[in-house]
Amino acid sequence: MSEQITFTIDGKQCTAEKGDTIVAAAKKNGVYIPTLCDFEGLKPAATCRVCTVKVNGAPTTACSATVSQGVEIESNTEEITNIRKAVVEMMFVEGNHFCPACEKSGSCDLQALCYKYQMMVPRYDFTFPRKELDATSPKLLIEKNRCILCKRCVRSSITTNGKSLFAVAKRGNKTVIQMDKTLAADLSEEQAKEAMELCPVGAILKKETGFVTPIGQRKYDAAPIGSDIESNA
Amino acid sequence: MSKPVVATASLAGCFGCHMSILDIDERILDLIELVEFNKSPVDDIKTFTKQCDIGIIEGGCCNSENVHNLKDFRKNCNILISLGECAIMGGLPAMRNGIPIKECIEEAYLDGPTVADCNEKKILPNDDEIPMILDRVYPCHEIVKIDYFLPGCPPRADLIWNAVAALVTGGELALPYEVVKFD
């Protein structure tokens, strides 16, 4: 059995195993730290910064940093909450998040965080980007204007022969996710479903499945994101 | 003391937000006890007849008339509220943002599948009576100062009710999870 360590989150005494990421350690103790780019089974990338916490006073990303003995972590403070809300708002205005017209609405992690932080209006100006929509795959639709560049899809190898279906192209504010058209042509139903479920927003969609779940029964209709973790406190 | 005066308008919206105002159901009887309506599609008063306390705006600004109306509301209302996704971020009309206006107009009047064969003279509407379309759809707060924002498509009736009641009575605005939604 690995070594148990103790630490605090917002003054609460917590225990976890040495080597746990702060997000995982917090989860074990019933504390929800919001994440977007983090996904179970994938190596942390720390691209979205929404999991920002302060460890002994220094800001860091809780998905990539591991917890150590005796550290004091700040998570749900007014300052950190404001930083997270700002990050969420920034991602929201950088894309075209027309929620009423999006297939992922109600089950979208970005939208759920907007709800959690009660974003009535983003503090930043909308950018209204115009990026190309890729509908070439028979099974997948890629709406790049909704992509938050979390790279979950790039980090996971969806195809079985070791080739990656998704890759990053271009740089700076022109950065986009590209889909390998040859691999995309032969995707199975399960692989297409897996790709859609990997995406925290409505950028990767499985065709012919939009709006299947009625309003009221979607993932975040009734309970805020993270409430399942917080109920274990 | 006279009742607070409310005015409402639908700019580049679908009137869904106004439907949601009506969706407060029997509380509409409480509402007319609480406030008096001035310029609004609800009572069909077309022009401001006095200074209003609360202006509620549905829809963003897609043409010159929307901008004119919005500025008129700002001038005549002490508190201005953006109601719904279109007022807050342009909403569905703003899906044309990022597409050059020339492309939009040509698709709508010359090249679109439903118009390609019936506009032989290639006429683009250009009458002085028609408001000038803007280069893109603007959220209301990019045109005038907006005091409060109530998201939703449409905003939940409970959200509208809670907000108006809180403003009028001076109470705290209740924001349970179920009422702040973007769709």
Tens digit of each residue's pLDDT, chain A (233 residues)? 689 999 999 999 999 999 999 999 999 999 999 999 999 999 999 999 999 999 999 999 999 999 999 999 999 999 999 999 999 999 999 999 999 999 999 999 999 999 999 999 999 999 999 999 999 999 999 999 999 999 999 999 777 777 889 999 999 989 999 999 999 998 999 999 999 999 999 999 999 999 999 999 999 999 999 999 999 87
What is the pLDDT, as a whole number, of residue A167? 94
Distances (CA, A) of A41 to A19, A24, A152, A156, A230: 15, 12, 10, 9, 22
* CA–CA dist B108, B177 (Å, integer): 40
* Domains of chain B with CATH codes: 5-96+136-179 (3.40.50.700)
Long-range contacts of A123-127 (CB under 8 A, 24+ apart): A123/A86, A123/A89, A124/A89, A124/A90, A124/A93, A125/A93, A125/B142, A126/A93, A126/B89, A126/B90, A126/B94, A126/B97, A126/B139, A127/A93, A127/A94
- Residue tagged 């058209």 (tokens): A181
Please choose, from the candidates A179, A174, A173, A136, the residue with its C-alpha nearest in 3D space to the C-alpha of residue A154. Answer: A179
What is the pLDDT, as a whole number, of residue B24? 95
Alpha carbon dihedral B67, B68, B72, B78, in 10-degree steps, equals 10
What is the pLDDT, as a whole number, of residue B45? 97
Task: State whether residue A111 sits within 8 Å of chain B by CB.
Answer: yes
For residue B56, the number of C-alpha atoms closer than 13 Å in the C-beta half-sphere is 24
Bigger pLDDT: A226 vs B98 = A226
Of B142, B146, B181, which has the smallest distance from its Cβ to A115's Cβ? B181
* Domains of chain A with CATH codes: 4-76 (3.10.20.740), 95-206 (3.30.70.20)
B22 burial (CB, 10 Å; 0-12 / 13-18 / 19+) is: exposed
ipTM of the complex: 0.93
What is the pLDDT, as a whole number, of residue B116? 84
What is the pLDDT, as a whole number, of residue B1? 65
What is the 3-state secondary structure of A77-133? Answer: CHHHHHHHHHHHHHHHHHCCCCHHHCCCCCCCHHHHHHHHCCCCCCCCCCCCCCCCE
Task: State whether residue A125 sits within 8 Å of chain B by CB.
Answer: yes
Of A101, A118, A129, which has the smallest distance from its Cβ to B180's Cβ? A118
* CA–CA dist A198, B76 (Å, integer): 49
Q: Which conformational region is residue A198 in: left (phi greater than 0), alpha (psi within -120 to 50 degrees), or beta?
A: alpha
Task: State whether residue A129 sits within 8 Å of chain B by CB.
Answer: yes
pLDDT tens digit sequence for B122-178: 999 989 999 999 999 999 999 999 999 999 999 999 999 999 999 999 999 999 999
- C-beta of residue A130 within 8 angstroms of C-beta of residue A141: no
- Provide, as residue numbers in chain B, all residues whose Cβ is less than 8 Å from the Cβ of A146: none
pLDDT at B91 over 90: yes
- Chain A residue with Cα closest to B142: A125
Tell me the nearest-neighbour CA distance from B43 into chain A, angstroms: 28
Residues whose CB is less than 8 angstroms from the CB of residue A132 and which lie 6 or more positions away in sequence, other chains included:
A144, A176
pLDDT tens digit sequence for B38-86: 999 999 999 999 999 999 999 999 999 999 999 999 999 999 999 999 9
Residues whose CB is less than 8 angstroms from the CB of residue A99 and which lie 6 or more positions away in sequence, other chains included:
A105, A108, A111, B85, B153, B182, B183
Task: Examine residue B154 and say whether the peptide bond preceding it is cis (omega within 30 degrees of 0).
Answer: yes
pLDDT tens digit sequence for A31-62: 999 999 999 999 999 999 999 999 999 999 99
Task: State whether residue B170 sits within 8 Å of chain A by CB.
Answer: no
pLDDT at B26 over 70: yes
- Provide, as residue numbers in chain A, all residues whose Cβ is less than 8 Å from the Cβ of B141: 121
What is the pLDDT, as a whole number, of residue A100? 95
Locate the DSSP E strands across B11-155.
36-37, 52-58, 61-63, 77-83, 133-138, 148-150
What's the angle, vertex CA B59, arms to CA B57 and CA B62, rounded to 5?
Answer: 125
Flag if B177 and A224 touch (Cβ within 8 Å).
Answer: yes
What is the pLDDT, as a whole number, of residue A203? 97
* CA–CA dist B86, B60 (Å, integer): 5
